[in-house]
Amino acid sequence: MDFIKETDLPGIGHKFSVSPAGGGKIIIIVHDDGVREIYRYDENTADSEVEHIISLDDAEARKVAGILGGLTYTPKALETMRVDLKGLAIDWYKLAAPAPFIDASIGALGIRKNIGVSIIGIIRRDGGSLINPGPDAVLQDGDTIVMAGTREQINAFHAAARPGPQPA
């Protein structure tokens, strides 16, 4: 059984049915106008009804997605977590001095052009975060970089960001 089932809702949007390992079901409806609705359903209870949990506008949904995706806070155990979804990899990397990327901007480093990964978030040592940072964002010592790309691109980023002699 798939963890997430997707269904088109013509004229409305798209429905995602999430079946967590712990049971029950979470239904997320993304309306064409950007509103997201979240419902809960416990299919293990005979008299269970679909319960509306919350409606979010687009900006709110993106903020919640950032929280759920670990862009605002990453538990210590997950700082080295890797996620692979049909060829797309999402990964975290914590910069530590004397890493070559420290005090340089994403654009100046040419990370997307030279390595191929997209930096989708930066979690600062002080707890602040930048979601979808632009090329002018400067990487700092202690930053946790959240990136997306292929597994090969992610591995190339890790190799290039590591302190010490760099491959030619």
> Given this model, what pLDDT does residue 77 score?
47
The pLDDT tens digits for 97-131 are: 888 899 999 999 999 999 999 999 999 988 788 99
Backbone angles phi, psi at 59, to 5 degrees: -65, -45
Domains and CATH numbers, the chain: 4-68 (no CATH), 76-161 (3.30.70.1450)
In 3D space, the residue among 81, 153, 166 whose CA is nearest the CA of residue 112 turns out to be 153
> Given this model, what pLDDT does residue 69 score?
63
Contacts 24+ apart (CB under 8 A), 27-31: none
In angstroms, the CA 84 to CA 162 distance is 22
Residue with tokens 């979808």: 132
pTM (2 d.p.): 0.53
pLDDT of 164 strictly over 50 = yes
Per-residue burial over 101-116, b if 16 or more Cβ lie within 10 Å, else e, is: bbeebbeebebbeebe
The pLDDT tens digits for 28-44 are: 888 888 788 888 887 66
The pLDDT tens digits for 18-31 are: 887 777 788 888 88
